[in-house]
Chains A and B, each alone.
Chain A
Amino acid sequence: MKVIFEHVTKKFPGRGKNKDEVIAVDDFDFEIPDGKLIGLLGPSGCGKSTALNLICGLLSPTNGRILFGEEDVTAIPPERRGVGMVFQNYALYPHLTVEQNIIFPLQNLKGAERLSKKEMHDKAVEVAGLVQIDALMDRRPSELSGGQQQRVAIARALVKLPRVLLLDEPLSNLDARLRLQTREEIRRIQTRTGVTTIFVTHDQEEAMSISDLIVVMKDGRVHQIGRPQEVYDDPADLFVAQFLGTPPINVFDGRIENGSLYIGEEAVLAWETVLPEGENKETAGTAPASDKPIPVTVAIRPEGFVVDPAGPLTCALDAVEVMGRDVSVVCRHPKLTSAPQIRAVIDADEQPDSAREQVRFSLKPHKVLLFDPESGERLRTGW
């Protein structure tokens, strides 16, 4: 089932001392395609859980419409939306067994949809098999591990064949190993059932690894929607560039002058065209010829550095961390603004001499991204 946001805004009234109203979701206007796994990604407080609650109907939007396919569900209460939801703390009914938890939604069906006890049991067993908890049907939630509880929650959300499956921070309560395993599991279950699945996370790695599509949000606004690799390679703005990727992208103050990109006094890349989106081609196009430098924010992915004794970018070397497959070069540069140190990931074979005090890099052009220092908007480059 397609989920469509039509200019959806959700405001919360101010309370007590904070009189200002909070805009948790600001003019969402996009479409979530049918049968895909979508990650809503953003730092905490960005409105992603609010967005989820708008879809399931626990919250209703201040403005705008929400559609499931052709049907406008904006005014439909959560009971009748036909969505399945997995809560962050799973929200399993503690006084019921696993099986009773799973068939709970089925017992709500009325009229022609009503199922016999046998049918309910069969459905519960089927969906329990899908999430591999069929051996635990008589246990109570308190007797299960976190990972098992989560599977029960997923089974309960799936048993009535929801139109949309929603997962709120599904992996945050699991330990690191289980998290890796469970995210594969979610992917597998989604592929098997084909249910449009939307999950919320603040962990970019989690979102990138399993989503068909990610929606990057901040402060209630959608910054970018796209396939994970697309968003990583081609971020719309500095926030998206910085939010995605581990280790994070390295950000420098730079400028464009005389047809080259400068970081400090070093011309690190030859420049061909810089064209801010929507900006007049003539004025932008003539800029490099002039001797007036254009300040830009330069962001370089960790894998964009190549150790090169003759390279243009000179950094003070702090450490070389060997990770096996590849090597992290930790160094400093006076123009770096994102963190105290640069973290460059290079191939283990190209390891620099860690006894040296300096390291020189050349840059892979497609890993170097330019942004407007004022607005953070991406400056599209032609290299």
Chain B
Amino acid sequence: MEQRHLKGYLYLLPAVLFLGVFLVYPLFDVVTYSFEEGYNFASQTYRGIGLYNYRYVLRDPYFLQALKNTLLLVIITVPLSTGLALVISVALHSITVLKDFFQTIFFLPYVTNTLAVGLVFMILFARTPYSDGLMNLLLGIFGIAPIDFIEGPYAAKLFVLSFYTIWIVLPFKILILTSALAGVDENLIKAARIDGTGPMRIFFKITLPMISPMIFYLVITGFIGAFKAYSDAVAIFGVNLNAAGMNTIVGYVYDMLYGDSGGFPSYASAAAILLFLIVLTITLINLLASRGRVRSN
């Protein structure tokens, strides 16, 4: 091997070492745990090997509830947040006055602590013995009866969680899309205008295809991010998510490990592997669906 190759590998070593110990090894470990029945951390023992953990998890109503919550969250928030981010970015891109001001405003949630924001959301939506919360106050103006968003019907809770998730992921998407829009060659738009193209056609036939790689990137990372949701739910509904019926898959994994019903690394591992398989499938579908539609450079 040449000297310079050796040097290259030497430089890679620290990263490879750390990634190997803290990422790759645990990954394989989780796969092993998921097949070991009744694994016990303390005694390092297990009863047998098989698919029992998967069977258990897939029959656990809490897991099924978490799966349903997560899937609904993904389906609602990813398209809505991406679409909303696109609309806001295009609007930001087209204004000149106060552009920086609005950009800052839209970016603020990104630098705000998730849990703090969750708390604020809870206060906005929660009903207490003394008040119905600000949101209900607003709804009251339109003659809508107060709704308990935090402890009430499932749809209301899902609404709050989706609202919150969209709000928290929006800034990053806006950031990415505004820079993508700024990167579109101004001359293409000018050429299209001179060729007699209306604004809608310019947007759908020129601008959108030009920024499609970025939209695709946001959809993929959006899916992955939404599947991994957990802290958002905790911030609004508290730590006992199973009781609230608002658990997510990651929340379920956490509960299985450390929660009140915790101490079951095997179940946690199986649930984690199931999540991994779901995310992998969805990402592959995304990749296949985008082929030919997303402009490649």
Chain A interfacial positions (CB closer than 8 Å to B): 56-58, 77-85, 87, 89, 91, 93-95, 104-105, 107-109, 156, 160
| Least CB distance, B290 to chain A, in whole angstroms | 14
* A79 and B206 within 8 A (CB): no
**Further contacts, 8 of them, CB under 8 A, given A79-B196, A87-B190:** A78-B193, A89-B185, A89-B187, A93-B188, A93-B205, A93-B206, A104-B192, A108-B201
CA distance A77 to B185 in the complex (A): 20
Q: Which residue of B lies closest to A166 (CB)?
A: B194
A-B pairs, 9 with minimum CB distance: A105-B195, A91-B187, A91-B191, A108-B196, A95-B295, A95-B209, A85-B194, A78-B194, A87-B187
| Least CB distance, B107 to chain A, in whole angstroms | 24
Q: Identify which of residues 68-92 in chain B touch chain A, using a CB-to-CB cut-off of 8 Å.
A: none
CA distance A84 to B295 in the complex (A): 26
| Least CB distance, A336 to chain B, in whole angstroms | 43
CA distance A377 to B93 in the complex (A): 48
* B194 and A84 within 8 A (CB): yes
* B196 and A160 within 8 A (CB): yes
CA distance A94 to B184 in the complex (A): 11
Residues of B contacting A56 in the complex (Cβ-Cβ under 8 angstroms): 194
**Number of interchain pairs (Cβ within 8 Å):** 60
Residues of A contacting B209 in the complex (Cβ-Cβ under 8 angstroms): 95
Subset of 8 A-B contacts with CB under 8 Å? A78-B190, A80-B196, A89-B187, A93-B188, A94-B295, A95-B295, A107-B201, A109-B196
Residues of B contacting A156 in the complex (Cβ-Cβ under 8 angstroms): 191, 195
CA distance A107 to B198 in the complex (A): 11
Produce 1/0 per residue, B255-297, CB < 8 A to A: 0000000000000000000000000000000000000000100
| Least CB distance, A127 to chain B, in whole angstroms | 13
* A105 and B188 within 8 A (CB): no
* B185 and A108 within 8 A (CB): no
Q: Which residue of A lies closest to B209 (CB)?
A: A95
> B210 in the interface, Cβ–Cβ < 8 Å?
yes
> B197 in the interface, Cβ–Cβ < 8 Å?
yes
| Least CB distance, B169 to chain A, in whole angstroms | 27
Interface of B is mostly: helix
Produce 1/0 per residue, B152-196, CB < 8 A to A: 000000000000000000000000000000000101101111111
* A95 and B196 within 8 A (CB): no
Most buried by A among B187, B195, B201, B205: B195
- Give the interface size bracket for B toward A: 10 to 19
CA distance A85 to B295 in the complex (A): 25
Residues of A contacting B185 in the complex (Cβ-Cβ under 8 angstroms): 89, 91
Give the residue of B187, B194, B295 whose beta carbon is less than 8 angstroms from that of A83: B194
* B210 and A95 within 8 A (CB): yes
* A58 and B194 within 8 A (CB): yes
Residues of B contacting A160 in the complex (Cβ-Cβ under 8 angstroms): 195-196
CA distance A95 to B195 in the complex (A): 17
Residues of B contacting A105 in the complex (Cβ-Cβ under 8 angstroms): 195-197
Residues of A contacting B195 in the complex (Cβ-Cβ under 8 angstroms): 84, 104-105, 108, 156, 160
Residues of A contacting B190 in the complex (Cβ-Cβ under 8 angstroms): 58, 78, 85, 87, 91
Give the residue of A85, A107, A109 whose beta carbon is less than 8 angstroms from that of B191: A85
| Least CB distance, B193 to chain A, in whole angstroms | 5
Residues of A contacting B187 in the complex (Cβ-Cβ under 8 angstroms): 87, 89, 91
CA distance A81 to B196 in the complex (A): 8
Q: Identify which of residues 188-225 in chain B touch chain A, using a CB-to-CB cut-off of 8 Å.
A: 188, 190-198, 201, 205-206, 209-210
CA distance A238 to B241 in the complex (A): 85
Residues of B contacting A87 in the complex (Cβ-Cβ under 8 angstroms): 187, 190-191
CA distance A95 to B206 in the complex (A): 8
| Least CB distance, B72 to chain A, in whole angstroms | 34
Residues of A contacting B191 in the complex (Cβ-Cβ under 8 angstroms): 85, 87, 91, 156
Q: Which residue of B lies closest to A85 (CB)?
A: B194
CA distance A93 to B187 in the complex (A): 10
Residues of A contacting B198 in the complex (Cβ-Cβ under 8 angstroms): 79, 108
| Least CB distance, B228 to chain A, in whole angstroms | 32
Q: Identify which of residues 4-63 in chain B touch chain A, using a CB-to-CB cut-off of 8 Å.
A: none
CA distance A104 to B205 in the complex (A): 10
CA distance A94 to B295 in the complex (A): 9
| Least CB distance, B70 to chain A, in whole angstroms | 35
Residues of B contacting A80 in the complex (Cβ-Cβ under 8 angstroms): 196
Q: Which residue of B lies closest to A142 (CB)?
A: B297
Q: Which residue of B lies closest to A108 (CB)?
A: B196
Residues of B contacting A57 in the complex (Cβ-Cβ under 8 angstroms): 194
Residues of B contacting A107 in the complex (Cβ-Cβ under 8 angstroms): 201
| Least CB distance, A83 to chain B, in whole angstroms | 6
Residues of B contacting A108 in the complex (Cβ-Cβ under 8 angstroms): 195-198, 201
| Least CB distance, B291 to chain A, in whole angstroms | 14
Residues of A contacting B197 in the complex (Cβ-Cβ under 8 angstroms): 79, 104-105, 108
CA distance A87 to B191 in the complex (A): 8
Residues of B contacting A104 in the complex (Cβ-Cβ under 8 angstroms): 192, 195, 197, 205
CA distance A93 to B188 in the complex (A): 7
CA distance A78 to B295 in the complex (A): 28
CA distance A57 to B190 in the complex (A): 10
| Least CB distance, A162 to chain B, in whole angstroms | 9
Q: Which residue of A lies closest to B199 (CB)?
A: A79
* B193 and A79 within 8 A (CB): yes
CA distance A162 to B38 in the complex (A): 79
CA distance A243 to B190 in the complex (A): 31
Give the residue of A58, A84, A89, A109 whose beta carbon is less than 8 angstroms from that of B193: A58
CA distance A108 to B191 in the complex (A): 13
